[in-house]
Amino acid sequence: MFAAENGLKGDPRLEAISAAIRVVPNFPKKGIMFQDITTLLLDHKAFKHTIDIFVDRYKDMQISVVAGVEARGFLFGPSIALAIGAKFIPLRKPGKLPGKVISESYELEYGHDRLEMHVGAVEPRERVIIIDDLVATGGTLSAAMSLLESQGAEVVECACVIGLPEVKGQHKLKGKPLYVLVEPSGLDEFC
């Protein structure tokens, strides 16, 4: 669900967040309008709004784990975790985590990729939110959910700054709620 439809309608912070995101056409390949959140990170106020909105949502939901997807999930997840008193768990590309891992594969447009998590990072019945900068097809988030659920954790919600049109109207991802702050920026200029 989009934040604007879920209690934050007209919130000027969402406008500021959306305006701070830069669109880079034809990256990584032709036809893709890449949503660049690095410009959001340069706008201290807008970056703070982003974190504040997530923190306000999750602080009273007994969340003990924030899981963030490498690498842009790392930019948002830890600040949220610190503010709500939760652990931060990085979900990483293969071969990066040094200890014993479990892994889950997921589909890309062409081929597959894998996501890994340390064994023992999460305990059964812990309540988890998963963070990434953007959700498109939901493939990566689904793999993340599988990793956490395989360890007995309860995924309470997936949360992203940006949600592509495919997810609009979809309130759930694999049966779990999906919370998104803004739609992609600047698409109108290029249509």
Listed ranges 86-94, 104-112, 165-173, 175-183: which one lies at the site for other proteins (CB under 8 A): 86-94
d(CA 141, CA 173): 8
For residues 146 and 163, the answer to whether their CB atoms sit within 8 Å is no
Of 8, 16, 41, 102, which one interacts with other proteins (CB under 8 A)? 41
Clarify whether 57 is annotated catalytic: no
Give bridge partners of residue 35 from the DSSP assignment: 23
Which DSSP symbol is given to 110?
S
Q: Does 88 bind other proteins (CB under 8 A)?
A: yes
Q: Residue 100 burial (CB < 10 Å; 0-12/13-18/19+)?
A: exposed
d(CA 33, CA 190): 9
Rounded (10°) CA dihedral 49, 17, 176, 67: -60
Clarify whether 183 is annotated catalytic: no
d(CA 184, CA 182): 7
CB nearer other proteins, residue 52 or residue 183: 52
Of 9, 62, 71, 170, which one interacts with other proteins (CB under 8 A)? 71
Of 119, 166, 171, 174, which one interacts with other proteins (CB under 8 A)? 119
Of 4, 34, 114, 154, which one interacts with other proteins (CB under 8 A)? 34
Per CB under 8 A, residues contacting other proteins are: 22, 24, 27-28, 34, 36, 38, 41-44, 47-48, 51, 70-72, 74-76, 78-79, 81-82, 85-90, 92, 95-100, 118-121, 123
Q: Which residues are catalytic?
A: 72, 109
